[in-house]
Amino acid sequence: MTGDPYPPYPDYPAQPPGGSGAQWPPPAPGYPEPMRPNGFTPSPSNRKRLLIVIAAGVVAVLAIVGVVVFTRGGSGGVAAKPDITDLTSQMLLTQSDFQDVAQHPKITEVKVRSNGITTIEQDFADSNASRCALPVVAGIGAGGQSGAVNVSIVTTGGDTDNGVYKVQLLRGGTHLDLESWAAKCLPLNQGSTVTAHADITGLSGGMMGIAETRNGAVSLWGAVGQIRGVTVMIAAKVVGSVIPSEQAKADLVKIVDKQIDKLNAA
């Protein structure tokens, strides 16, 4: 790859929790392997695996509805616009787009990081382990493009929570049959974690809502769709009383609308 479409997260510990022999949890379906920080770089063999197994784990699972070619105007209307043929960094969300989310007195800082736009140089392998990975479903491969935004929060006392909001854009491949994807891959049960379709009030048409629950409580809200030919995956994590479930869900809707507007403005 020219650059890594799934760069390291800046604040993950250098080793997974659990001591010697412990492994990182798998990523959620439709989302890439969690981006890790502190200089952690996968080996070449593991890097290939990161591109293949984009279907299981931690911060966002996302689903779909039919063959979606949806555009949302700034006023909330629907208008036909041609597919985007080249992703640019101007299409990614920036610091100013997150000013009205993560609103809590204990949050002292919101950090927005982006890896810009990168070109995908190898195809995503189609294997049993990756059949539910959205890049595989969408046929995204060599020559496609990827862009990611990762948002962390800092709370009183200096504690940092990574990946509170995530946005992933992928361009290339074909239009998604999201309804078939959801029928085949959801709900997904992974021990105490269940990922399933969810109705989210206010979510823009053409986007499907997803909820990840752990031990019966929602831990993450997500949405996925295809806007002007760009596969859009967005997640908002529940962070205790700082970002409770209902706020995370409302924040998700705001972020989705802003990302759609950015793509439509291009």
H runs (alpha helix) in the chain: 44-52, 134-137, 178-185, 245-265
pLDDT digits (tens, 9 = 90+) for 164-194: 999 999 998 888 888 888 999 999 898 999 9
Q: Which CATH architecture has domain 28-265?
A: 3-Layer(aba) Sandwich (3.40)
pTM recorded for the entire structure: 0.72
Q: What is the mean pLDDT of residues 199-204?
A: 96
Complete DSSP assignment for 241-255: TTB-HHHHHHHHHHH
The predicted model gives 112-139 an average pLDDT of: 80
Does pLDDT of 253 surpass 50?
yes
Measured CA to CA, the distance from residue 122 to residue 51 in angstroms comes to: 9
User: What is the chain's mean pLDDT, rounded?
Assistant: 77
Alpha-carbon span 181 to 197, nearest angstrom: 11
Over residues 202-220, the pLDDT tens digits come to 999 889 999 999 999 999 9
Helices then strands, each counted (H, E), the chain: 4, 10
Q: Supply the pLDDT for residue 128.
A: 57
